Each structure stands twice: as C-alpha cells, then as structure tokens.
Structure 1
Amino acid sequence: MNSQEYQNVLQDNLLPFINSFEGNEVIFQQDNASVHVSRSTKAWLEANSIATLEWPACSPDLNPIENVWGWLVRQIYSQDKEYSSRNELKEAIERAWHELTSQMLSKYIHSMPNRIFEVIKKGGNTIDY
C-alpha cells in the first residue's frame, strides 16, 4: 500500500467514523509505518483536521489490535494449515474473524494498564504480551 492508497482508506473509513463522534475530541492512533508518516499523509491528516497520537520511533507496540491479529493468524494457520487458493484463505480468515468474541477483545483492552506498567518497568523495551 502506498500513501495515496492509505489516504483513500482513511477518506472512505476514518472520516465517516470520526464524523459519527461529532462534538467530541477524537485522537487517531497509528504506528510509524511509512505510509502513516509520509509527508503527504501528514498533510492529508492536517487538511482534514485529524489529530494524531504521537508515536515514538522503535517503541513497543501496545496496540491491542496487534494481539487480535496474532490470534487470527494462529487460528488461521493452526496445525500448520496451508491454503491452495486465495478464496480458501479468505474463507478461513472470515471464519476466524467470526470466532472473535467481545470477551476476547475486552481482555486485550483491559490488559493495557499492565502492559504500560511492564513497558515502564523495562525502560521502554519490548514486553512479553
């Protein structure tokens, strides 16, 4: 994905989402992927009045969605499963996605205080989460 494609995704998805919170301050969180921090993306975010959370380079990734992605990958490729077609893989991803529960997501979100404590304890280095 390049910066323009990323900005199209933001245009089609982020803007409507943010607009649903009219009257409330929203701060957008993203990591330091090159398309997220490119000059054109920064200019796009500024032009659309989207505040972003500062994200230090080489910081441990505390975003709970990373745990969700990890869980999905483990589900999809459990027992060394391999897929013979793109459609078969897509179906496996959709099955795994539908197996996610609100309890699992809540567990990841509620682990944030412990994650932050661990990062502080390790002086900003990576943690085992």
Structure 2
Amino acid sequence: MASDETEASYFQTTQEKYNQDCIIKRTKQGSGSIGLWCCMSYYGLVIHCIFDGRLNAIRYIDILNENLIPSMEKLRQSQQFIFQQDNAPCHRAKRVTEWFTDNRIECLKLPANSPDLNFIENLWSWLDRELAKVGPRSLEQLKEIVPAILERVPKKVIESLVDSMPRRINSCMSFF
C-alpha cells in the first residue's frame, strides 16, 4: 500500500484490493444521524447527551430527568432560569408539560407555527462547521467527536448566541 498524505491520493496494488489494512471504511452522507440534547446559557454549555432514534415524550422526560436538572444546578446564577425549547410534538406532549409543572421549571411560551428563535440552532450550525473540519467517517466516530467538540465551544460563541435573543425577538415582533 502506498499513499501520499499531502496530496490525499491513494494507490494500491491488485493484491491489496481486499486487504483490510488497505481499506478505509467510510460512511456516506445521509447514512445515519444522531440525536443531540444540550443545555446552555450565557454562562456556558454544560451537559449534553447523544441519543439514537426518534424522540418521544417518554424518552424526552428521561433526558430531562438525567440532564436538565443537573444542568440547571450547574448554570443557575442569581437570575431566573427560563427553559427554551421548540414546538416539537414531544416537547408539547401533556406528560412533558406536566413534568415541567411538577418540577417548577418555567418554559418560554411560543405560539404554534412560530419561527424557531432558539439560539441553540445556531450552535448546531457552528457544530456542523466544526464537524466538517474533522470529517467523521462513521456514525461511531461521529458519536466520539461531537462531545469533544462541544466541550471546547468558545465562551464568546455562546455569549454571542444568547445576546442575539433580543434582536431575534424584536425582528419577529416588527412583523406584527
């Protein structure tokens, strides 16, 4: 097997064609995905979890129990904590609404069909750009890389995203 890493070219002999040492396993784009839950505030990004498959109300409550309460304890400052999520069906489920009430957690109220103002969507865009630099080759590698990248999100990025909320809300309010 011969390879020139600087030009990213690859040459192999006929005998090497099926040699496992000469094969680089790759996952084509769109051949898998991960679910990602994350809690962040102006003070930082604390707990995140990766999950497989689709999210339903019961699974979402499990994620909240395991991650939101500890995140709130780590992020709670002297200011009131309002949890923001989008209008996904599992977020609006009666069980989930009752969970927030039972745990005395205030959620940002959003009208149906409202634009997605959640600043974390921009964090996902930042994460996508960082992932593109690394280029995970498999779903397993993606699951390893994402936490490492999230642990090094610059504080400046998080602060900028949170600071953008008044502008986002005001721009939507100008349409009404």
Instruction: Confirm or deny a common fold (TM above 0.5).
Output: yes
- Structure 1 partner of 2:131: 76
Seen in structure 2, the aligned counterparts of structure 1 residues 92 and 15 have a Cα distance that, compared at 3 Å, is: closer
* Cα deviation digits, residues 18-75 of structure 1 (max 9, x gap): 4565997533222111111111111222222322221111112222111001111122
Return the index of the structure with the highest Cα Rg. Answer: 2
Instruction: Give, as a single letter, the amino acid of the residue that structure 2 aligns with 1:16.
Output: P
Counterpart-to-counterpart distance in 2, 1:57 and 1:91: 35
Q: How does 1:1-20 map to 2 (within 5 A)?
A: 1-18=55-72
- Structure 2 partner of 1:107: 160
Q: Please identify runs of 4+ aligned residues in structure 1 that moved more than 4 A.
A: 19-25
Q: How many residues align?
A: 121
The structure where helix makes up a greater share of residues is: 1
Gaps of 5+ in 2: 1-54
Counterpart-to-counterpart distance in 2, 1:99 and 1:18: 20
- What TM-score do the two structures reach when normalised by structure 1? 0.74
Percentage identity across aligned positions? Answer: 34
1:86 aligns with 2:139: yes
- Structure 1 partner of 2:173: 120
Counterpart-to-counterpart distance in 1, 2:77 and 2:161: 27
- Structure 1 partner of 2:10: none
The structure where strand makes up a greater share of residues is: 2
- Structure 2 partner of 1:40: 95
Gaps of 5+ in 1: 125-129
